[in-house]
Structure 1
Amino acid sequence: MTKTFLLGGARSGKSRRAQWLAEQAGEARIYVATAEALDAEMAERIARHKVDRGAGWRTVEAPLDLLSTLQAEAAAGEVILVDCLTLWLSNLMHHERDVEVQTDALCKCLHSTSRHVFLVSNEVGLGLVPETPLGRRFRDAQGRLNQRVAEVCDVVEFVAAGLPLRLKG
């Protein structure tokens, strides 16, 4: 089974591309959401995304415990879409979890799974250098996470303006 990693900037079309690819891969699909509705705007955004996905998707919320979720859901035999690793990383850092340990565990999990898995992440390193130390730590951690996940995935695409560019596979 294929592990596919989709990178791009905000509103680049990467989630739409990942959804389309996952829908082509199988009838039974799980959407693993890492976002949390911490304010009204985010709650509205999450609700809109659920409607946009439509029928055929089962949503599992995993803002922090992505690894256990992936392990449990992989056994169910469904296509898995994780959206997105950027929010997961932000959640890990906010809760002071060990990002390197979590990244290692995620890569081991992806390497061993026998399911189609689609992962979405932001490419945050193309812009300006963040002004704050926290912003720079996050940018660096995101870059390292993206590199590690790209290494274990079979297919890697960069999406810009809704257009995919195949980088690997």
Structure 2
Amino acid sequence: MKHLVLGGVRSGKSAYAEEEIAACEKPVCYVATTQVWDEDMAERVRLHQTRRPSDWRLIEEPLALAEVLDSLNSPEQAVIIECFTLWLTNLLCLDDEARLAQEKQDLLRAVSEFKGDLVLVSSEVGLGIMPMNALARRFGDEAGAMNQALATLTDRVTLVAAGLPMPLKSLSTSLIAKA
């Protein structure tokens, strides 16, 4: 099962995604994309760490997600990736268009080929006002395109708002759409 979990900041998406991957009853690997640049981000990371079970394996990778996912590709594995919008930010800050394009392409391939259980966490950033600066607009465009691409590759998509999961796509709707 592949599941994309979307939501805004502090929407409850991470806690929901963690519950979903824990329910798989397989060994879990938590792939964190965050880079800690300030104390606020460090505190957010600490909150996530204290909530996770101690037996989950942790891989911290801010850029090369496809490599990590390929290395974990097994029907016996459960993986949660947190979060795609932070990963995208990391890539955009490199200011390397070729690397950005390659990492996105490689990641979508790795998600498509993944054989275990996979929960992907991403922020839904397109619900607010149009940003004033070019980088913020680019980020919104890239995040929206990535979320749409991931949604096509997953069996389920859930939007979390105010801690409430709202299914957008389920396995049954996926089968209907393909018919």
Instruction: Indicate the TM-score class for this superposition, using the shorter chain for normalisation.
Output: over 0.9
In 1, are the aligned partners of 2:26 and 2:76 still within 8 Å (CA)? Answer: no
**How far off is 1:57 after superposition?**
1.1
TM-score by length of 1: 0.94
In 2, are the aligned partners of 1:67 and 1:109 still within 8 Å (CA)? Answer: yes
In 2, are the aligned partners of 1:67 and 1:105 still within 8 Å (CA)? Answer: yes
Alignment of 1:118 with 2:116, yes or no, is no
Provide the residue aligned with 1:160 in structure 2.
161
**How far off is 1:75 after superposition?**
4.2
Provide the residue aligned with 2:45 in structure 1.
46
Q: Which runs of 5+ in 1 are unaligned?
A: none
**How far off is 1:49 after superposition?**
1.1
Q: Which runs of 5+ in 2 are unaligned?
A: 171-179
Q: CA RMSD in A?
A: 1.4
Alpha-carbon distance in structure 2 between the residues aligned to 1:66 and 1:77: 19
Alpha-carbon distance in structure 1 between the residues aligned to 2:9 and 2:16: 13
Deviations 1:16-45 (CA, angstroms, capped at 9, x unpaired)? 110000000124111100001112221222
Deviations 1:104-159 (CA, angstroms, capped at 9, x unpaired)? 22111111111101000011000000010111011101110100010111111111
Q: What letter corresponds to residue 119 of structure 1 in structure 2?
A: L
Segment of structure 1 superposing worse, 51-60 or 111-120 = 51-60
Q: What letter corresponds to residue 14 of structure 2 in structure 1?
A: S
Alpha-carbon distance in structure 2 between the residues aligned to 1:140 and 1:161: 24
**How far off is 1:76 after superposition?**
8.7
Alpha-carbon distance in structure 2 between the residues aligned to 1:45 and 1:12: 14
**How far off is 1:161 after superposition?**
0.8
- Identical-pair percentage: 38
Deviations 1:38-85 (CA, angstroms, capped at 9, x unpaired)? 122212221221111132211100111111111112249321000000
Does the residue aligned with 1:63 lie in a helix, a strand or coil? Answer: coil
Provide the residue aligned with 1:150 in structure 2.
151
How many residue pairs get aligned? The number is 168
Segment of structure 1 superposing worse, 139-148 or 38-47 = 38-47
TM-score by length of 2: 0.89
Alpha-carbon distance in structure 1 between the residues aligned to 2:156 and 2:75: 23
